[in-house]
């Protein structure tokens, strides 16, 4: 169903974790183009209905830990059958099933993990979790977790810095929509859309539910300002899944891409006006977090309906703009090559940790280019059931260089670069600078 990629053994190559129904597999990269199933030896157990997953160093010990979203308790032998009023077999809604609790596995070294879900404070009994993303939103040096849930309140686990988390989504204003209702949430991303250097949360939802754009406020609170940002009406007749807050035209502002598709096989009787196959959407950031939909002008793909699920972001051709790989529920995988994104200048950074985890996951990069500051973190897990390009990408518009680049590693190490020319992919080694 989903996957996560990260170098959990710090040997220099990416390992793969795959989720599924009644199964989850950890594949260790052998470094020669092959993988070995090390699930049992690694201590990964009790995965029942996994969806999204994330490698994240939650305790900042230099080893990547693993978060696994779990969905609902379902048994093929329970005899439950669902369908339409005219007798067609169809998907059973999640309200029929009890939730599962998502799990946290701590990397204890030597290739082994320990289930610390309960002791670390991930104790919600109502997950029905589908999406996960990590970011250090409160600037304490430890990554926090946001989990998107289906029909139950979304979860914000705030990292206490002592190996434990405290769930604070309702208290901080990012569990429910603007009308205080839980929604059917799927995809999620966590980045700064309005230029105030604080990460904002994008969450995609079900038919007749608006998506959420939880804007970061003073004091660590959030407010759903999806309407004020111009992202409301066009989402109501769609079911949103994979999504990303990414600068797709390199103007220095993060845009929104959402892939859509219904979960029902025959939605015409229960959700009129919302077909199974749906068109994807692209919204350009006009600056400061106001958006305008440009889907019709974005290419033929956006005029054809698909049953969308996962959206994966990365610069596959290394030309400086971000491309999108789409994995649908039906049909072939599609690669959307970005042909117009590099009209603005750009910078990309690949990180190699020494004291920190090898991938640099959780490191924060802040650039100043053209007198404007931007900030992002190294992460692979966001969107929906996806593992994305680990390189950190910045569009910088007309600027020809970054006057200053600061890399704050999970270990606390600060590396500073100056006069960094645009149009290149840089490798930064912890404590050593540019390679």
Return the bridge partners of 366, or none. 375, 406
Distance between CA atoms of residues 70 and 49, nearest Å: 5
Q: Does residue 350 fall inside a structural domain?
A: yes
Residue with tokens 């350009």: 284
Q: Does residue 6 fall inside a structural domain?
A: yes
Q: Does residue 235 fall inside a structural domain?
A: no
Residue with tokens 């009644």: 22
Domain finish residue from 156, 184, 212: 184
Report pLDDT for 195. 97
Domain finish residue from 134, 156, 184: 184
Domain finish residue from 165, 184, 203: 184
Spell out the SS3 assignment of 340-351. Answer: CHHHCEEEEEEE
Q: Does residue 175 fall inside a structural domain?
A: yes
pLDDT at 340 over 90: no
Distance between CA atoms of residues 121 and 225, nearest Å: 29
Confidence of residue 87 (pLDDT cuts 50, 70, 90): confident
How many domains does the chain fold into?
2
Alpha helices by DSSP H, 30-103 = 39-42
Burial readout 237-258 (b: 16 or more C-beta within 10 A, e: otherwise): ebbbbbbbbbbbbbbbbbbbbb
Closest alpha carbon to 341 in 298, 288, 281: 298
Helix H or strand E segment including 166: strand 165-167
Is the model more confident about 94 or about 386?
Answer: 386
Query: Residue 166's domain spans which residues?
Result: 1-82+99-184
Q: Does residue 9 fall inside a structural domain?
A: yes
Q: Does residue 320 fall inside a structural domain?
A: no
Q: Does residue 14 fall inside a structural domain?
A: yes
The enclosing domain of 427 has a CATH number of 2.60.40
Distance between CA atoms of residues 327 and 1, nearest Å: 11
Condensed to tens digits (0 to 9), the pLDDT of residues 109-157 reads 999 999 999 999 998 887 899 999 999 999 999 999 999 999 999 999 9
Q: Does residue 303 fall inside a structural domain?
A: no
Closest alpha carbon to 281 in 245, 300, 256, 306: 256
The enclosing domain of 161 has a CATH number of 2.130.10.130
């Amino acid at each position: 169903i989903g996957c996560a990629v990260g170098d959990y053994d710090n040997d220099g190559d990416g390992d793969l974790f795959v989720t599924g129904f009644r199964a989850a597999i950890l594949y260790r990269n052998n470094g020669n183009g092959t993988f070995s199933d090390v699930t049992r030896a690694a201590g990964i157990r009790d995965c029942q209905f996994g969806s999204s997953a994330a490698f994240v160093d939650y305790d900042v010990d230099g080893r990547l830990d693993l978060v696994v979203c779990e969905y609902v308790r379902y048994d093929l032998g329970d005899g439950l059958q669902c369908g339409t009023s005219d007798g067609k077999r169809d998907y059973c809604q999640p309200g029929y099933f009890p939730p599962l609790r998502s799990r946290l596995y701590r990397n204890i070294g030597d290739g082994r993990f320990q289930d610390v879900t309960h002791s670390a404070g991930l104790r919600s009994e109502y997950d029905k979790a589908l999406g996960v993303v990590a970011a250090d939103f409160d600037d304490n040096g430890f990554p926090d977790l946001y989990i998107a849930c289906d029909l139950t309140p979304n979860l914000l686990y705030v990292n206490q810095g002592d190996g434990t988390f405290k769930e604070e989504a309702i208290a901080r204003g990012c569990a429910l929509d603007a009308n205080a209702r839980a929604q059917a949430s799927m995809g999620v991303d966590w980045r700064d859309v309005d230029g105030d250097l604080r990460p904002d949360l994008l969450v995609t939802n079900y038919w007749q539910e608006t998506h959420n754009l939880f804007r970061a406020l003073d004091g660590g609170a959030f407010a759903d300002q999806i309407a004020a940002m111009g992202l409301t009406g066009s989402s109501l007749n769609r079911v949103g899944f994979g999504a990303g807050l990414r600068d797709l035209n390199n103007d220095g502002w993060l845009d929104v891409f959402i892939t859509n598709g219904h979960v029902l096989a025959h939605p015409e009787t229960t959700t009129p006006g919302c077909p199974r196959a749906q068109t994807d959407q692209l919204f350009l950031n006009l600056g400061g977090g106001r958006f305008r939909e440009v889907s019709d002008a974005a290419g033929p793909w956006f005029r054809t309906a698909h049953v969308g699920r996962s959206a994966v972001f990365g610069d596959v051709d290394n030309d400086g703009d971000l491309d999108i790989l789409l994995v649908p529920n039906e049909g072939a995988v599609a690669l959307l090559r970005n042909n117009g994104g590099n009209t603005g200048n750009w910078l990309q950074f690949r990180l190699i940790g020494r004291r920190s985890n090898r991938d640099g996951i959780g490191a924060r990069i802040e650039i100043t280019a053209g007198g404007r500051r931007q900030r992002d973190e190294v992460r692979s897990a966001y969107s929906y059931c996806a593992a994305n390009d680990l390189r950190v990408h910045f569009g910088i518009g007309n600027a020809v260089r970054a006057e200053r680049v600061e890399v704050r590693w999970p270990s606390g190490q600060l590396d500073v670069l100056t006069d960094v020319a645009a149009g290149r992919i840089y490798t930064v080694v912890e404590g050593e600078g540019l390679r």
